[in-house]
Amino acid sequence: MHSIIFQITSKITALARSGYITHARKLFDEMPKRDTVAWNSMLTGYSHLGLHQEALSLFQQMRTSNTKPDHFTFTTTLNACGASSSFLNGTKIHALVIALGCQSSIPVNNSLIDMYGKCLSPFSANKVFQEMNDSNEVSWGSLLFAYTNSGQFDAAASVFKFMPKKVGVAWNIMISGLGQYGEIELCLEMFKEMRESFREPDQYTYSALISACAESLELVYGCMMHAVVIKIGWSSAAEVSWNAIIDVYMKAGDTREAFLSFQRMPGKNVVSWTSMITGYARNGYGEEST
């Protein structure tokens, strides 16, 4: 029986990874018996495809089946809670983590901190962090994000200051958080400090900076950052960069430059088309948006 469960679970994993989630679920439902690994496989499939409500619903079914969740179950389900801002479900799962004695797991605690951060509850995130016996770079980064995501930059600065090791992702979290709340001057100051600390900015740094410039209508800085990204050739950052540049031109009322940037954009996606349509509509060009 164990061999059969393993084989079916492997097929479920393969189908889910290929995007055939309906087929994976059908195979899962037809299983004569399911162990924790099988449930985790299906949960992961939903989570990776962004089907977070389906993942949470499946977790509830897992609980009624009396299958005991493990650390991997909790990390996957907590990630679904965070991604869907499901604070209530997150707190219930937190209580279950404690009840089943899994609160000593670093990955589970990191997922709890991340979930609370995404649900805008930095106090709860900090409480989990303070109760951890051991922490790692992910723990610190998740706590830092919890504060920046809720706009509590004094607390974020304190966490950043006392981080045992300031890896690149920590700088990116600070820059992205400041940009999200329109603190463009602090954002650029943080970027300057990053360079002075001999930390080399990566594509995520520039993506965050360009998005911040778009939010604050800092056209000159945005164009400068955009030029750097295009010159280096970072594909994923370039996509964010082009979309942000279009957005900042539209917000500044320069529909001509926005259109020229849109034409030059190598790979147009839903975000870029949406930026153009909403931008034209915002600037009173209803016909161009249709």
Distances (CA, A) of 21 to 50, 164, 167: 11, 41, 36
**Full-model pTM:** 0.85
Q: Which residues contact 47 (CB under 8 A, 6 or more apart)?
A: 55, 76, 79, 80, 83
Contacts for 258-265: CB closer than 8 Å, 24+ residues apart: none
Write out pLDDT tens, residues 38-65.
999 999 999 999 999 999 999 999 999 9
Q: What is the CA radius of gyration of the chain?
A: 22
Q: Which residues contact 185 (CB under 8 A, 6 or more apart)?
A: none
The reported pLDDT for the residue numbered 241 is 79
Write out pLDDT tens, residues 161-209.
999 988 889 999 999 999 989 898 999 999 999 999 888 888 888 888 8
Cβ neighbours around 91 below 10 Å, total:
17
Name the nearest CA neighbour of 220 among 248, 251, 255: 248
CA dihedral 139, 142, 144, 147 (to 10 degrees): -130
Greatest mean pLDDT among 130-139, 218-227, 256-265 lies in: 130-139
Do residues 134 and 105 make contact, with C-beta atoms less than 8 angstroms apart? no
Residue 25's pLDDT band, with cuts at 50, 70 and 90, is very high
For 234-284, the three-class secondary structure string (H helix, E strand, C coil) is CHHHHHHHHHHHHHHHHHCCCHHHHHHHHHHCCCCCHHHHHHHHHHHHHCC
Q: Which residues contact 176 (CB under 8 A, 6 or more apart)?
A: 148, 204, 208, 211, 212
Share of the chain above pLDDT 70, in %: 97
**Mean predicted confidence (pLDDT) in 210-216:** 82
Distances (CA, A) of 59 to 41, 49, 70, 74: 12, 16, 12, 9
